[in-house]
Every structure is written in C-alpha cells, then in structure tokens.
Amino acid sequence: MLRVIFLGTGGSLPTRNRNPSSILINRDGELLFFDCGEGSQKQMMKAKTGMMALSSIYLTHFHADHILGIPGLVQTMSFQGRTEPLDIYGPPHIHDFVKMLIGIGYYKLRFDVRSREVAPGEIIHKNGYDIEIIKTKHSVPSVGYVLREHVRPGKFDRDKAIELGVPVGPMFSQLQKGFNVIVNGNRITPQDVLGPSRPGRTVVYSGDTRPTEDVERASKGADLLIHEATLAEDKKEWARESMHSTSVEAARLAADANVERLILTHISSRYTDDISPIYNEAKQHFKSVIIASDLMEIDIPYKINKASE
C-alpha cells in the first residue's frame, strides 16, 4: 500500500476548511510526515491514521505553518507510551529547531527525537525505498523530497520453475529473493524463472517553492507530483515576490516532467470560497490534476509493466 493523506492543504493562513501544510504517507503501515502544520495530530485522529507507526518527519523549511504541529504531536505520542525513536529531517538549523522543540512545554519525552540535517542531492536509504532531497527556491532555506521505491523483482514463473525441476517449497523463495539454487546438480538462476524487473512508485513533494528545473528533473515520470499552487495566474507577480508558484506554473512543470498525476496544495486563503481559478487554469495545461482538500486520501497503484505480464 502507498497512500497519501492530505491532513492540511492551506497556505500560510488556516481557513475554516483548510489546515496548514501537512501530508502523511502510509507505506505498508509505516507512516511518514512531510511537513507538520498546526493541528496535524487532530487531523490524524479525524482520518483515523494512528500515530505510533510514525517513523519520521521530513520538513521542507521552518516557516510556522509547516512546523507548529510537531510539539503537540510528539507530546501526545509520549503520553501514549511511545518508546521508539523519531527522526526529524530538515534543512540547516534542524538541530537547533529540534532542541528548541524539546524545550517547549518543559516536558520529558519517553522516546528520543533525532534531528538529521539534509541537503540537495543527498539520498536517505530506507527499507524498500529511498528519500531523495531536492533543491527548491523559497524565501528561506528549503528543500523538497522524493519518495522513490526500489525496483521490484520480476514476476515469478511457477510453471517454469517446476518444469526446470525445482520442487515446490523453500527453493521457490530463494529464487524470488535473487539466489541461485542447485537441483539435481544443475544450477537454476533467478533469471531462469523471473520476468523483467518491475518499477516501484515515485511521489514528489515540492514544499513551498518557485517552479524549478530541479523539481522538474526529479519529477520525470513520477506517479504523483504534489506541488504547491498558492495563487492563480492573475497574482503571478505576487507569487514571484513571495517565492511561491501559481497553478499554471505547477501544471506546466508537471506536463514537462510527464508525471502521471498532479495534486496542487498550499492554497491561499483568498480562494476559501472558490477554488475554480486555481483548478481551471491548471487544467488547461495538465489534464490529470486535482486540488487537494483536507482529509483527502489518494492510493498510488503500481504501474503496469506489460513486458512482465
């Protein structure tokens, strides 16, 4: 499972129907936060995501609307008996931020919160996936993130394995894991019984940024691009001054990157009653676009690899 839950989709100011920026990804039961705006833990409760499976938080920058949900969240998890460490990744000054965070409220956590500074070009290796750090362009030091799953082995051909004399049982598993087996003195390799390798899934999160070549490059062929679209095109000068993107700019980037789907978030409070300017303008440049809404959930399926079928 790879599910994206939009807990907060608003811009700098919360509105009656949009919390500040907060995106949660559930990958096979592991929870990963990308930014954590005020009220995130309450949104988790509404979405019934649970909290204790949260392994890490990835911060794009330190503007308040992207970080203020963390103090309450870590304290709640401590109250609930969490003992597993929590990793918080972010741009320069993340260590100072986490130190300050732990000092807020004068409470002692039951688990360690570990700060990890990241920089564009770095790759964080995880079990079954990587987190790539990409350069973004905002009014303060900032980064974006790419969740890129590892390539999966090809489809196991059970009939072919039996035909080659491999007995049903542990040897099947060995071959699927990439190991050779010996049957009646003959070596059987994974290549003999596995189809072409199958791609994993890729999700890109821009954070707050101007449209950049770095984000476009990282998004090439991605299954999902989550890009900020704070303003409509008639406010493009304001977008440039505040170092944000318009929906048209985000849509053009998605089209150039040939992504499967684009979801626009970080919507300015000026569109509280009518998001049509954001949506309609983006739709003219990229058809597979959605405007994120709070508590919206999106499942990311595997791409069909016809060569492996």
- Give catalytic residue positions: 65
Contact, 48 vs 26, CB < 8 A? no
The answer to whether 73 and 36 are in contact (CB under 8 A) is yes
CA-nearest of 173, 120, 125 to 142 is 120
Question: Checking DSSP bridges between strand 262-265 and strand 224-228, what pairing results, if any?
Answer: parallel
Dist. CA 58–CA 267, nearest whole Å:
20
Phi, psi of 144 (to 5 degrees): -120, 175
Residue at token pair 């079928």: 309
- DSSP assignment string, 37-106: -TTHHHHHHHHT--STTEEEEE-S---GGGTTTHHHHHHHHHHTT--S-EEEEESTTHHHHHHHHHHGGG
Report the 10 Å Cβ neighbour count for 121. Answer: 10
- Cβ atoms 6, 20 nearer than 8 A: no
Output the six-digit token pair for 244: 């944000």
Residues 6 or more apart whose CB falls under 8 angstroms from that of 81 comprise 110
Closest-CA residue to 291 (of 308, 307, 275) = 275
Amino acid at position 82, single letter = R
22, 35 Cβ separation under 8 angstroms: yes
Token pair for residue 303? Answer: 């791409």
Q: DSSP label at 127?
A: S
